[in-house]
Structure 1
Amino acid sequence: MSEAVREAPKKERPEFRNIHVTELSNYRMPLAAIVSILHRISGFMMFALLPFVLYLLEQSLRSEISFAYYQGIVSYPLVKLIILALVWGYMHHFCAGVRHLVMDAHIGLDKDSARKSSATVLVISLALTAVVALKLFGVF
């Protein structure tokens, strides 16, 4: 072999490691990853609370007295915040689900389009939640 081939400098290859839980604060996820994680969290939140929400619906439809009772409970600000969290979960899950359906049709798969669509999902879901919050807290 020639001397030039033997003496060629070796390039340092980057080392890819698994991320430990303690390193999560140093890692910056892209916006699409954040939207995907929030989509999973909102889906789990709706699934876990579905029996409780259906029970409350059944109890409120039982009679006029029970409806008035639950109407009184919903007037507390803490309960309104819990309802608002459920509304955000639904709005975000719906908007992110539409985004995933569009991506399943192979539309918007490149990096720039994915970033824009994830930002759009966040803006639309938060705007719809803000509209519901204004109505829920009696602004209009």
Structure 2
Amino acid sequence: MSEVTARKPRPKYLALNEIRLPLPGIVSILHRISGVGIFLMLPFLLYLLDRSLGSPETFETFAAVVDNWFIKLVLFGLLWAYLHHFCAGIRFLLLDLHKGLELEEARKSSKIVLIVSLTLTLIIGVVLW
């Protein structure tokens, strides 16, 4: 019991730039960030829905708001957040069913989630705008 073990000195700070997350970890963090983003954008989306459905005059207000390049950029980001959250959610449901738990399968499914969500975002974004 009197044996003294040599301990490594603890780091004084956490060097976030030196941490290398694997791709499944990045997809997981993006899934959480996109969920928070969607939740926080709900009041803005409800406002846009109200402006678009009220009357022809309020639809004109909606069209003027959405015609702004910054709002289009925000909506484009929200579109990506929704599509990424949806695709990653399907991936996580499959992981809950014990499908794709092996390392190579997890990496492959992470790549598929990123590629599909970005591709769908570009396709839908180009069609809408």
Gaps of 5+ in 1: 1-14
2:112 aligned with 1:116: no
Deviation at 1:133, TM superposition (A): 2.0
Output one character per residue of 1:85-122: Cα deviation in whole Å (capped at 9) or x when no partner.
Answer: 00000000000000001111100001110000001000
Deviation at 1:134, TM superposition (A): 1.2
Which position in structure 1 is the counterpart of 2:72?
A: 80
Off by >3 Å, runs of 4+ in structure 1:
15-22
Letter in 1 for 2:32: R
TM-score of the superposed pair, with normalisation by structure 1: 0.80
Instruction: Name the count of aligned residue pairs.
Output: 123
In structure 1, distance between residues paired with 2:88 and 2:101: 14
Decide which of 15, 37, 48 is 1:23's aligned counterpart: 15
Q: Which moved more, 1:128-137 or 1:97-106?
A: 128-137
Contact 1:39 1:93 in 2 (8 A): yes
Superposed, 1:1-140 pairs within 5 Å as 22-137=14-129
In structure 2, distance between residues paired with 1:99 and 1:17: 39
Identity of aligned residues (%): 46
What SS does the aligned partner of 2:100 have?
Answer: coil
Deviation at 1:51, TM superposition (A): 2.1
CA RMSD, 1 decimal: 2.1
Deviation at 1:79, TM superposition (A): 1.2
TM-score of the superposed pair, with normalisation by structure 2: 0.87
| Higher Rg | 1
In structure 2, distance between residues paired with 1:22 and 1:28: 13
